[in-house]
Structure 1
Amino acid sequence: MDGLVHPVRTRRRVAFPFAAIVGQEEMKRALLLAAIDPSIGGVLVFGDRGTGKSTAVRALADLLPPMAVPDGCRFNCDPAEGPPCVDGCAHAGAAIAVPVPIVDLPLGATEDRVAGALDLERALSSGVRAFEPGLLARAHRGFLYIDEVNLLEDHLVDLLLDVAASGENLVERDGLSIRHPARFVLVGSANPEEGELRPQLLDRFGLAVDVSTPATLAERVEVVRRRDRFDRDPLGFARDWEHDAVQIRERLHEARARLFEVGVPDVVVEAAASLCMALGTDGSRGELTLLRAVRALAAFDGKDAADLGSLRAVAVTVLRHRLRRNPLDETGSAARVERAIADLLP
């Protein structure tokens, strides 16, 4: 624990401990990988309501060390990047530590609220044209969570696609022209029965997982017990799980620190490419995401190099949402990936 910086808890209510979430191992692993290497591209969670999706995201952020921002900055600038990222930003202020932001994007949000717009209050009161940052600025260097992302309006999807591709948000309206960084881990949840995602947005998620309501009586009972205890005594419940949280926090911290020291042998790269070829995925994004995911998992597991075991562990999560539909094959996408793994990586 020596030398580790722990999350600042004073500005955010106590989160349900990540380690205390019952089951949902694939979802928890996907979120950890995205936190270790944000370039993986975020996480899309398919499944039932009430299965701990938003709880897991907020719990993960509580494991991350606080980030440094200039005091008074509303754009979450990184002081280590040098000059102010936006004209008028309070970048010269002393750096303070703040929690990694978790920002919810409501389905009914307007484009002004998401991207930012003219600060009407200052414009009317003092005649100053000033920019009011939106949700994208708040999410910079953190997480942007969208529940039921498949129901998001098209104009907001277009905005997210532009920002995801460039890492910046450009606002040009009301006489303003503002450009600020907007890099975040995108986490979305979706119920496939309520509508499909646009292919362009689906492709932007690096990882996709399926979650479901616990299938056994013992699991359902344990979920209820833990949640009830947390609701009655959040601090006491968090203390009981602090040892487990410390272990995950240390592994996460070490994995982020040594990520790019982890090697990925040619045999793993070739196996990833062979798997994508066998499944007929489009482009090279599948292979690149597999490469990043196996490296992040190996780093989290304390390995010096990824291996075929790491590839088997993440392949379904990386590829299940990248498969073309096959009308002659009624099996699910996860089963198709597993079948390909069995054929190519026995």
Structure 2
Amino acid sequence: MTGLLSGVRQAIGQYFSLVSLLPSVLLVAYCFVLFSSGALSGPPDLGTVRAALSGLDFGEAALLALVAMVVGVVTHPLQFMIVQWAEGYWGLGNLSRRMRELAVDRHRRRRDAVVNLAKDAAELRELIDDADDPPEDRVQQRLLTLHYEASRLSASYPGADDDVMPTRLGNVLRRYEVGAGEPFGLPATALLPLVALVAPANELNYLNDRRSAMDLSVRTAANFGIAFLLTVVFLWDDGLWLLAALVPYTLSYLSYRGAVVQAHDYGNAMANVIAMNRFKLYERLRLHLPDNVLEERRLHERLQPMHDLTPLQKLAFKHPPGNQPVAVPGVDQPPAG
């Protein structure tokens, strides 16, 4: 079975093995335990589960591994959709739009509350610093902790109201999608696909590792969510056994919160890769390198139509020596050097 899993990893790739196969193995194993317990016909029997596990031979284990691989292959193309659903892209139906509006309003109120709390704590700290008789150190430490915690929570939200998403994961990702390239004049969603083409392999591996960790957490949360629903359906009329559904629910919740933490790491990786490789992109596009951030932002204003698939405004290109453009009468030429 180990050789079979290794072959699948080499054939399909490490990303599939980590993000799709591993959570599928956990889901199939959980379903096997649930079915072996007799939950389909009555209350679960732990003795039946122990007997099924101890009597599991190589052929049955290989069959379970094959089922897990099939589940992973079938659901692997859905990974992007699963992440988008976790971000809060729920479609245009009346119910989904209403749920989205309610969730967005809740997160806007939460963001405003923590932002205002951070501001109030900062103002109190200034008053304490200027006071002739400051309070005792214990009070100052509590105020400092309050300020840091409120600032940390507010950093999980985008700045503009229109950018607030209906989920924690969506808000963290949106914050970096908008903010990672904001100092340079374009959002990260516009810069990153191009920057990734010129970034060194080690930096791309660093970025992909952060994305894989987030995707793994999201997929694990989704699979444990499925396990929770199956447990509720099978144990609905089995009394206190229904409390067993709290196990996959808790694991799903913890995996989702882990995905939120990993989203911060992925967002920082996006910002770092863009910041360190954007000039390589300008060189590949044969654009004149800007001397400061203001020039760079003006350059991006002229590049913006390229991302919108509309006609580009006039750009000045810088060609390498020996590959200068041919002069065309009546057409503005790029400045020298």
The interval holding the TM-score normalised by the smaller chain is under 0.3
More relative contact order in 1 or in 2 (CA 8 Å, sep 6+)?
1
Bigger Rg, which one: 2
More strand by share: 1
TM-score, structure 1 normalization: 0.23
TM-score, structure 2 normalization: 0.23
More helix by share: 2
